[in-house]
Amino acid sequence: MVLSVENLSKSFGENRVFHDISFSVNKGEIVCIRGKSGEGKTTLLRCLTSLETPDRGSIKINNVYLCREENKIIKYAQKSELQAIRQEIGLVFQSFNLFPHMSVMENLMEAPLFLKNDSYDNIKKRAEELLKGLELEGKENSYPFQLSGGQQQRVAIARACMLNPSVLCFDEPTSALDEETRGQISKIIRYLASEGIAIIIVTHDNAFADEIAHRIITMKDGKITIEEQ
């Protein structure tokens, strides 16, 4: 089990987004989270990736607590451990969030260079391998505005993979993509899962979820139901 969520709850003021939800994701498993707008899908992703703090419950990655509830207060892992735990879960944003003033290569190398978790040469080699694998050779010096939407998304996926995460989250990966590009993204996600990465996908695209998911989590009225595929 790569990711374990137990009794997680989140509210914004009087608005209860979700309450007491629990699920897990295994190595190499693709789990899609779907539901109507406003059901809390993206908020859940943001809690998993530490962009939002839940109100109750716990999140474990590789059997280590990212956060847990103690005396009705959410506490995160010790600072000395927290950075390493956070690196185990990546997020590909719906809008990609590439740095517009940086080239493709600079976008990929920025975080690992900042974290100083390897040598410059090894980081560059890793970036080159990912770009080749995602059919982006020759785009190393391009800027985001020079790329198509599908190319930007593949750069965003490569960037999220630079830290070798155990879990990779996608927020609406097929929105505004044509059929051919949608097929490319589906192929890439399956490849990442085959490499042992646990995949979590938030999507409104029911056909895509039915096609790619091993399990589907449906969010409705603050609760979840889980369906095996």
**Per residue in 26-51, pLDDT tens?**
999 999 999 998 999 999 999 999 99
pLDDT tens-digit map of 161-203: 999 999 999 999 988 778 888 889 999 999 999 999 999 999 9
- Mark out the alpha helices in the chain (DSSP H runs): 41-48, 79-86, 104-115, 120-133, 149-161, 179-194, 206-212
Q: Is residue 29 part of a domain?
A: yes
Q: Which residues have a Cβ under 8 Å from the Cβ of 196 and sit 6 or more positions away?
A: 27, 28
Q: How many domains, the chain?
A: 1
DSSP per residue over 16-28, as a string? EEEEEEEEEE-TT
Question: Which two three-digit tokens encode residue 138?
Answer: 């020759």
3-state secondary structure (DSSP) of residue 55: coil
pLDDT per residue as tens digits for the range 63-106: 999 999 999 999 999 988 999 999 999 999 988 999 999 999 99
**Contact predicate 174/182, CB 8 Å:** yes
pLDDT at residue number 176: 73
199: its two tokens: 């995949």
Establish if 216 belongs to a structural domain: yes
CATH number of the domain enclosing 162: 3.40.50.300
Give yes or no for a contact between 57 and 8, defined as CB atoms under 8 angstroms apart.
yes
- Asked, for residue 64, whether it belongs to a domain, the answer is no
What is the token pair recorded at 217? Answer: 């989590």
Asked if residue 77 belongs to a domain, the reply is no
Cβ(157)–Cβ(80) below 8 Å: no
Residues 6+ apart with CB under 8 A from 99: 106, 107, 110, 144
Q: In what order do the strands lie in the sheet with 30-34?
A: 89-92, 167-171, 198-202, 30-34, 215-220, 223-228
pTM score, two decimals? Answer: 0.93
Question: What single-letter DSSP state applies at residue 130?
Answer: H
In a domain, 82, yes or no: no
- The per-residue pLDDT for 180 is 85
DSSP state letter for 178: -
Show the domain range for 218: 25-51+87-228
What is the widest separation between alpha-carbon atoms in the chain?
A: 54
